[in-house]
Amino acid sequence: MQRIVLRHGIIAGLILAGALLLSTQFMDAMTDHVLGQVIGYLTMLVALSFIFVGIKRYRDLALEGKITFKRALLVGLYISLIASIFYVATWMIITELILTDWMDQYAVSYLEGLVSNEASEAEIEEGRVLMQRYKEMYENPWKKMGVTFLEIFPVGLLVSLVAALILKRK
């Protein structure tokens, strides 16, 4: 199981890391952050499709075509964890070396979105307070890692659950 999990986790992680690095090239030109998020989550799904491939490969090679839901889910979660570590590590490097002011840019974009959507002064002030809290939180590397992990791992969990349901065989 270890080889299959490592191989598929690393492949998914490399796709995620490559997509993150590639996206840094277009971040300044991307004014529609919703589109950026959609592209980001679609990329996550493509990369995390290796969870499905890994579970199927493990089932077919190691278990002679049989796998329980629990075992399939466990394989998927291991692959998700490895891919998530790649994703988090890449984001930490990017925000330390390339996009050092990313949170400031995000805060400005968020507040501009509130203004363009004609939010009230109270909502805008609430947004400022929220963004200030996020900036402070983002200064702590452990919190930044946690937030970044929570971007990717739930997607991996969902893909693992679906793949385990589809691929289980007794």
pLDDT, one tens digit for every residue, the chain (170 residues): 799 999 999 999 999 999 988 888 776 555 556 677 778 888 899 999 999 999 999 998 877 888 999 999 999 999 999 999 999 999 999 999 988 888 888 888 888 888 888 888 888 889 899 999 999 999 999 999 999 999 999 999 999 999 999 998 87
Query: What is the sign of the dihedral through the CA atoms of 66, 70, 73 and 78?
Result: negative
Q: Would you say residue 130 lies in a domain? A: no
Reported pTM: 0.86
| pLDDT recorded at residue 33 | 64
Whether 144 and 92 have beta carbons less than 8 Å apart is answered as yes
| Nearest Cα residue to 47 out of 83, 74, 77, 76 | 83
- Residue span of the structural domain in which 88 resides: 2-97+142-167
Show the tokens assigned to 49.
């499709």
Rounded to an integer, what is the distance from CA 159 to the centroid of its chain? 12
Q: Would you say residue 6 lies in a domain? A: yes
Q: Would you say residue 43 lies in a domain? A: yes
Q: Would you say residue 62 lies in a domain? A: yes
Q: Would you say residue 41 lies in a domain? A: yes
Q: Would you say residue 11 lies in a domain? A: yes
Other Cβ atoms closer than 10 A to 114:
17
**Number of residues that make up the chain:** 170
State the total domains in the chain. 1
| pLDDT recorded at residue 31 | 57
Question: What angle separates helix 2-26 from helix 69-97, to the nearest 10 degrees?
Answer: 40
Q: Would you say residue 127 lies in a domain? A: no
Q: Would you say residue 106 lies in a domain? A: no
| pLDDT recorded at residue 27 | 64
| pLDDT recorded at residue 29 | 54
